[in-house]
Amino acid sequence: MAKTWLTNPQAERALFLGRALFAVVVVLVLTGGLVAQLVALQVGQHAHYATLSDGNRMRIEPLAPTRGLIFDRNGVLLAGNEPSFTLEIVPEQVTDIPATLAALGELIEIREQDLARFNRQLLRQRRFHAVPVRFQLSDEEASAFAVNRHLFPGVDIRATLARRYPFGAIGVHAIGYMSAISEADLAQVDAARYSGTTHYGKSGVELAYESVLHGAVGFRQVETNVQGRVLRVVEYSPPTPGNDLHLTLDIEVQLAAERALGDRAGAIVALDPRNGDVLALVSRPGFDPNAFVDGIDATAYGALERNPRRPLFNRALRGRYPPGSTVKPVLALAADAFRTELARRSVWCEGYFQLPGIDRRFRDWRREGHGRVDLHRAVVESCDVYFYELSLELGIDRMHEFLTAAGFGVRTGIDLKGELAGLMPSREWKRNTMNQGWFHGETLIVGIGQGYMLSTPMQLAQTAALFANRGHAYRPRIVAPIDAAPERVAPLIPERVGDWRRTIQGMTDVVHGAAGTARAIAPRGEGAYTIAGKTGTAQVFTLAQDDDRSVDRPQLPEHLRDHALFIAFAPVESPRIAIAVIVEHGGGGSDIAAPVARTVLDAWIKRGQP
Amino acid sequence: MIEFADRNPRFRDGEGSTGMLGRLLRALHVDGVLLAALVLVAGVGLVALYSASGENMAMVLRQATRLAIAFGALLVVAQIPPRVLYRAAPWLFWLGILLLGAVLAAGDVGKGAQRWLDLGIIRFQPSEIMKLAMPMMVAWLAFSRPLPVDLGRVAICGALIALTAVLIAAQPDLGTALLVAAAGFFALFLAGLRWRIMIGLAVLGTALTPVLWHFMHGYQRQRVLMFLNPEQDPLGAGYHIIQSKIAIGSGGLFGKGWLNGTQSQLEFLPERSTDFIFAVFAEEFGLLGLLALLATYLFIIGRGLWIAANAQDTFGRLLGGSLALTFFVYVFVNAGMVSGLLPVVGVPLPLFSYGGTAMVTLLAGFGILMSIHTHRKLISY
């Protein structure tokens, strides 16, 4: 493009020079301001800053806040703070740190992992901040050091508060535990807010509510002499203690549940269906959280980690098990909700089921069969054949839709970290993960809660709560916010109360009926109450379905035995508790899991809480 | 095509330096005076870095290598005649905008911010391109019609500056966004932006401060708050400023001497080889050292403005002037931040702070200044 405007070079240059001159003036004024500030710092306040910088030094010491306490719903202390002695080194005051540590080792036991942690922290912290060497000194160790203190400049004992869990391993997977703060922990938080804080919540409530429990760091600015001894406190800003937490957990119910499970591995989750309160959350075996506070030694930790029974594993939130027959009430409900043809008739159960044109026999747990079975009887006696037929009529798509709405394959959203979702298979899921189409046979075994299907105890308890409330539930919570109502989760499809009647009657007769699979646990006599439940047995070791040899399951080695399951709520008409119990390798749900559940229901209902 | 109509009769009396050195410098299109000042600052910077890094020779060598590369970039850019830069300006600018968009879409996250574009072989920050492309674009637009700029072009320039600043600030990199916006603004200012508009913008800016506050990231708000009252948070963000003021103040008139700065040697001072190296220099060389350093910086800025004033055409004048003034902003913002005059906005001290990318861009900018200066005669003859 041709330039069509006439420019006046002289005028443009003059304009530029004017503007540039103005800019030069601004530059000079700003530089003047900068120089004035530098003169003020380096000449005016030189003496002040020189004092701060050498000889007597100003030091800012963080003051760690006191951690909030954790109580159960009735005010019983679950996690408290106890005075304890910590051995610390201020790096800038020690000339030869390895030699000092070696000399200290003569007086006080300093273990390998103490050293490792100390060295890691040494690199991270400012050199005038104390770095802990050992936590929880015994009285003997503390006095041994006190006598020899003059030999160790820059080393000191500090009285601190250490976390204590009076109930030890009881409830450890709910309450959680604390141990020495790590690099990874610090990356999660503002490191400045944790100056002076030595421990961090690692699991359970301690982790999920770390920010509430921790409190706010304080500091004091002190003037010290060259040796680092404090001469005077210039400024003091106290730390703000962390907030106490009152859990929804009832330690009596928790204790009853832990005792009922005893030495067996498994999990129990008990909820209050009226608000989602977690009344008990058990995963056994557990471990003693107090050992972690003191700094667990490497061999003990290795033993915990390698233990085949996996005590560190939170089964209640992360254990994924086939739900087995506990899925049947949900499908019975679906039968009514979808107005299936099968819901209005009965089937003849002769102990097995065959798909047309296929030889394979899908067996019933009762080899001789249940005879004529309708929906009610199918729930009460847990007839597999009825549910094979029902599954075939519903089809996997409708089953997936309905079971997902009932919570299967979905996280409950409990206010603890690390909850896993179970697995609710669908055509789409199978195509994505296995690149395979869906087979009819797979629909059948989903009908009895086997196959790909997986549930966590937490989810099964939530599903039980959903039944207790006839179609809605609340997000499970272990800490109930004071100012927030329970959070309702989306309702299950049959909002018509009539549709719930038959299924719940069936679940009630599982316990109270003459042929119920859990009739042995029905409460009788004074204080009796009604229970609606469903037993389940999850196969660990798949026996060939058409194997005709009779196999006596209890004779299998323990790790191949079935998992025993039971879900329930009580009392039936105005439920106050919903529960899921899983006993690993326990055998049948009716023999093992149901009595455990009964003990927990008793503990809560007989407590007479509203 | 563009006529370089602005024939300034004074360009003939540029440097009359003769002899071997003069001829060599002329052949390389280098302004010897400016180059000498830049090399002086860079050399002092290496000396300060040796102390700030805790006598870490490896770090000094790495920095020297970067400086060599950056001065290489200066030499290369100095060979490009201004008319080529003029033609390239819009292309470079829109390429930069495109890359900034790409960074936002798929950039690598480094230190919590998306700034880097990974091209497989090299990773670089497109925002660096904009430090040069922004003033080039404004100068290009301003040069298309007679000065002073009319309202239409002011509006276009304003929109482009705002677009660029928002794209960079979204990375988020507020410091660079401000620098790039400043570079564009300076070109516009030198092109005769009306005072009325500037005053209006200042008023508008004051009014929009609460809005800007709303869009700031938590850490950016933290920095502003902490600037207003550093003592409120002595364990966290305020620690930098407190320690840096102690370092500067304790340096006094003459300083504690090289390698003798206790604040910096005892590692009280954080980020002492990067953003806070000014405090190390202040502690060890005192007020006199600082004044000498600032004088050298001012000399570089003055020389840059002088080159701009004598440029052959308006494009070169606006571009050169903007580059010189932006350089001042670097120095002032860093020194102001370290001495507690301004909030902490991660701007390095040019030619001093440890780090690579920004230095290459900076010296490439001085390459442009040299090109503007040394290509005048070639055209006229």
Residue B291's closest chain A neighbor by CA?
A: A35
Bridge partners of A157, per DSSP, are A87
List CB contacts (< 8 A) between B147 and chain A. Answer: 7, 11-12, 15
List CB contacts (< 8 A) between A48 and chain B. Answer: 249
Residue A30's closest chain B neighbor by CA?
A: B332
Q: Which of A19, A48, A219 sits opposite B235 (nearest CB)?
A: A219
B141 in contact with A, Cβ within 8 Å: no
List CB contacts (< 8 A) between B290 and chain A. Answer: 38, 42
B146 in contact with A, Cβ within 8 Å: yes
Do the chains contact at B3 and A24, CB–CB below 8 Å?
A: no
The Cα-based distances of A554 to A265, A585, B142 in angstroms read 17, 10, 91
Please, how many CA atoms are within 13 Å of residue B129, restricted to the half-sphere of its CB?
Answer: 22
The residue among A495 and A422 whose pLDDT is bigger is A422
Closest CA to A564 of A320, A322, A370, A362: A322
List CB contacts (< 8 A) between B296 and chain A. Answer: none
Percent of chain A with pLDDT over 90: 40
Residue B242's closest chain A neighbor by CA?
A: A49
Split at pLDDT 50, 70, 90, the class of B194 is: confident
ipTM attached to this prediction = 0.87
**A554-590 tens-digit pLDDT:** 456 666 678 899 999 989 999 999 999 999 987 776 7
List CB contacts (< 8 A) between B301 and chain A. Answer: 27
What is the least distance, in Å, from the CA of A243 to any CA of chain B?
22
Q: Which of A9, A27, A190 sits opposite B5 (nearest CB)?
A: A9
Q: Which of B146, B245, B290 sits opposite A7 (nearest CB)?
A: B146
In whole angstroms, give the CA distance from residue B127 to residue B106. Answer: 15
Q: Tell me how many residue pairs between chain A and chain B have CB atoms under 8 A apart.
A: 145
Percent of chain B with pLDDT over 90: 37
Q: Which of B192, B250, B298 sits opposite A49 (nearest CB)?
A: B250
pLDDT at B240 over 90: no
Residue A14's closest chain B neighbor by CA?
A: B309
List CB contacts (< 8 A) between A219 and chain B. Answer: 234-235
Do the chains contact at B248 and A42, CB–CB below 8 Å?
A: yes
What is the least distance, in Å, from the CA of B21 to any CA of chain A?
31
Burial (CB < 10 A; 0-12, 13-18, 19+), residue A345, is exposed
B250 in contact with A, Cβ within 8 Å: yes
Do the chains contact at B249 and A34, CB–CB below 8 Å?
A: no
- DSSP-assigned letters across all residues of A2-52: ---SPP-HHHHHHHHHHHHHHHHHHHHHHHHHHHHHHHIIIIITHHHHHHH
B320 in contact with A, Cβ within 8 Å: no
The residue among B301 and B312 whose pLDDT is bigger is B301
**B329-377 tens-digit pLDDT:** 999 999 998 888 887 777 889 998 887 778 889 999 999 999 999 887 5
**A486-511 tens-digit pLDDT:** 888 876 666 565 678 889 999 999 99
Q: What pLDDT is stored for residue B236 in this prediction?
A: 60
B302 in contact with A, Cβ within 8 Å: yes
Split at pLDDT 50, 70, 90, the class of B287 is: very high
pLDDT at A597 over 60: yes
Is the Cβ–Cβ distance between A171 and A78 less than 8 Å? yes
In whole angstroms, give the CA distance from residue B147 to residue B321. Answer: 15
Residue A63's closest chain B neighbor by CA?
A: B235
Place of tokens 């861009």: B361
pLDDT at A136 over 70: yes
pLDDT at B13 over 90: no
The residues of A that are catalytic are: 325
What is the least distance, in Å, from the CA of A501 to any CA of chain B?
54
List CB contacts (< 8 A) between A90 and chain B. Answer: none
Longest dimension (CA), chain B: 64
B369 in contact with A, Cβ within 8 Å: no
Point out the least confidently predicted range of A54-58, A95-99, A258-262, A410-414: A54-58
Residue A24's closest chain B neighbor by CA?
A: B302
Is the Cβ–Cβ distance between A460 and A317 less than 8 Å? no
The Cα-based distances of A225 to A48, A56, A127, A233, B261 in angstroms read 16, 5, 16, 12, 19
Mutate to test the interface with A, among B147, B223, B233, B235 (most CBs of A within 10 A): B235
End-to-end CA distance of chain A, in Å?
88
**B100-120 tens-digit pLDDT:** 888 887 655 544 455 555 554
pLDDT at B285 over 80: yes
Q: What pLDDT is stored for residue B11 in this prediction?
A: 43
The number of helices, as runs of H, and strands, as runs of E, in chain A is 21, 21
List CB contacts (< 8 A) between A125 and chain B. Answer: none
Residues in contact with B11: Cβ distance below 8 Å, sequence separation at least 6, in sequence order: B310, B312, B376, B377, B380
Q: What pLDDT is stored for residue B213 in this prediction?
A: 78
Mutate to test the interface with B, among A8, A53, A194 (most CBs of B within 10 A): A53
* Domain parsing of chain B, residue ranges: 32-79+216-376, 86-215
Strand pairing class (A347-349; A277-284): unpaired
List CB contacts (< 8 A) between B143 and chain A. Answer: none
Task: Give the domains, in start order, of chain A with CATH numbers.
Answer: 59-245 (3.90.1310.10), 251-605 (3.40.710.10)
Do the chains contact at B235 and A195, CB–CB below 8 Å?
A: yes
Do the chains contact at A127 and B267, CB–CB below 8 Å?
A: yes
pLDDT at A56 over 90: no
Do the chains contact at A46 and B335, CB–CB below 8 Å?
A: no
In whole angstroms, give the CA distance from residue A271 to residue A567. Answer: 11
The number of helices, as runs of H, and strands, as runs of E, in chain B is 15, 3
